[in-house]
Amino acid sequence: MKHHINQRAPQKSVVYTNDIDEQAHNLPQWQQVYDQVSNGSFYGCIEGLDYPDAHLFKEFTQRALRQQCHIAPNSIWLGIPRSSAQSKINGLQLETHQLMCRNSDCDFELITPEQFTIYGVVINQHTLYTMADIQGLSLKNMSTRGAERIACNPILLNQTRLMIEKIMNYSELGLPIELQQDMLSTLTLNLLSQQSSTQTVAPSYQHRLAVVEKVKAFIDDHPQQAVTITQLCELTFVSRRTLQYSFESILGINPLRFLRLTRLNNVRRELKQPGQETPIAVIAANWGFWHPGQFTKDYTQLFGENPSHTLKRCV
C-alpha cells in the first residue's frame, strides 16, 4: 500500500558531525559550549522536529563531554537520557527514575558519558503554563537549585521514551503539526505533574559546587595564565584534598585534568578560527603548553588527530 506524506506534518532534520563545536551549534536557538573529556575522535548526530511552540530532538554524542548550556528564550526543557548512567546536571548525579528540567532563566552544565543518547523536549513556557492552568495543574519554579532533577514513575518515563521514538520515526506519515505539538505538551505536563520529591542533596553540595564555580570563573577570566593547585587552594580557601574532592564529585575529574582539558579544547577552537596563521607552537604556549612534543601527544590522544590536521581541515 502506498503511503502519502502528510504535508502538514513536521519534516525531520538529521545532522551528523565529527566536530564537537558543530554539534553544540546544531541545536537551534541554544547557546552551548561543548568540551571533550574522553579520548578519541568525535562523532555526533542530532535528529530534530520543529513545531510552532516546541522543538523535539534526539542527540547522540560518542565521547564524554562537559556541556555548558542555555536553552532557547522563554522555554522549558526536559532532558531524558536513554540511560542515565554517569550523567550529571549541575554536579548532581541523575538516577534511573529521574529526568532533567531547566528553563531559560538560568544556565546549566551537563556531564555526559561516552555513547550518550538523550531525548530533549523544548516547549514555549507561556504555552505550557497556559495549558497547565486550563487543566488545573500547578508547576513549580524550575529555575531554582534542586529543581534540575525531577523524580518520575519509571514506567511513565520509559513510555515517554517510546512515544518520542515513535514521533521521531514516523512524524512525516503521522499526525498534523498541531496535534503532535499537543501530544508533546501533554507528555511534558504528565511528567511534571507526576513529580515527587527530588533526590536529597548532601549538605556539602553547595560548598563543593561553589569551589568548582569559583575556579571555573577564575579560569574564564584568566584563560592563558599559568595556574597551580596551590594558587587554586588559596583562591578557594580550601585544602588540596577538598579541592580535589569538590572537582571529582561535581565534574567527575580532578582539577589538574580539568585545567588541561579546558585548555586543550580552547587550543582546538583557536586552531579552527578562519584565517588562522599563528604557528601551532605559539598558540599552544599561549595556553600553557610549553613542551611541543608533550602538547602534540596530549592533543592527539584527546581528539584523535594531531593539531596540524585540525588546522588543515579548517583552512
Q: Does some domain include residue 1?
A: no
Cα dihedral sign, 68-95-101-56: positive
69's grid cell: 548550556
Q: CA-to-CA distance for 209 and 303, rounded, in angstroms?
A: 28
Domain check: are 189 and 225 in the same one? Answer: no
Q: Does some domain include residue 138?
A: yes
Q: Does some domain include residue 2?
A: no
Domain check: are 94 and 218 in the same one? Answer: no
Domain check: are 24 and 163 in the same one? Answer: yes
Domain check: are 148 and 209 in the same one? Answer: no
218: closest CA among 265, 258, 177, 168?
Answer: 258
Instruction: Name the amino acid, one letter, at 69.
Output: C
Please state, in angstroms and as integers, the Cα–Cα distance from residue 207 to each residue in 98, 203, 210, 246, 253, following that order. Answer: 24, 8, 5, 8, 17
Domain stops at, among 135, 162, 193: 193
Tens digit of each residue's pLDDT, the chain (315 residues): 333 444 566 788 999 999 999 999 999 889 999 999 999 999 999 999 999 999 999 999 999 999 999 998 899 999 999 976 679 999 999 988 889 999 988 899 999 999 999 999 999 998 888 888 888 877 766 666 667 888 888 888 899 999 899 888 876 556 788 888 888 888 888 888 765 545 567 788 999 999 999 999 998 888 778 788 999 999 999 999 999 999 999 999 999 999 999 999 999 999 998 888 889 999 999 888 989 999 999 999 999 999 999 988 776
Instruction: Name the amino acid, one letter, at 12.
Output: K
Domain check: are 182 and 227 in the same one? Answer: no
State the pLDDT at residue 247: 95
SS3 for 139?
coil
Domain check: are 290 and 153 in the same one? Answer: no
Question: Cα torsion at 243, 248, 254, 257 (round to 10°)?
Answer: -140
Q: CA-to-CA distance for 94 and 149, rounded, in angstroms?
A: 7
Burial string for 65-81 (b: 16+ CB within 10 Å, else e) reads: bbbbbbbbeebbbbbbb
Domain check: are 20 and 135 in the same one? Answer: yes
Q: Does some domain include residue 5?
A: no
Domain check: are 256 and 298 in the same one? Answer: yes
Domain check: are 217 and 188 in the same one? Answer: no
Domain check: are 164 and 86 in the same one? Answer: yes
Domain check: are 82 and 128 in the same one? Answer: yes
Question: What's the CATH code of the domain at 118?
Answer: 2.60.120.10
Q: Does some domain include residue 85?
A: yes
Inter-residue contact 109 to 92 (CB < 8 Å): no
State the pLDDT at residue 260: 93
Q: CA-to-CA distance for 226 and 219, rounded, in angstroms?
A: 10
Q: Does some domain include residue 6?
A: no
Inter-residue contact 10 to 23 (CB < 8 Å): no
Q: CA-to-CA distance for 149 and 88, rounded, in angstroms?
A: 10
Q: Does some domain include residue 3?
A: no
Question: Cα torsion at 20, 21, 22, 27 (round to 10°)?
Answer: 100
State the pLDDT at residue 84: 63
State the pLDDT at residue 238: 95
Residues in the chain: 315
Domain check: are 247 and 309 in the same one? Answer: yes
Q: Does some domain include residue 63?
A: yes
Q: Domain residues for 277? A: 205-313
Question: What's the CATH code of the domain at 251?
Answer: 1.10.10.60
Domain stops at, among 193, 220, 253: 193
Domain stops at, among 193, 226, 248: 193
SS3 for 36?
strand
Catalogue the long-range contacts made by 240-249 (C-beta closer than 8 Å, 24 or more residues apart). 242/211, 243/211, 243/215, 245/208, 246/207, 246/208, 246/209, 246/211, 246/212, 247/211, 247/212, 247/215, 249/91, 249/208
Cβ-proximal residues to 23 (8 Å cutoff; 6+ apart), any chain: 17, 34, 42, 44, 46, 59, 61
Structural domain count, the chain: 2
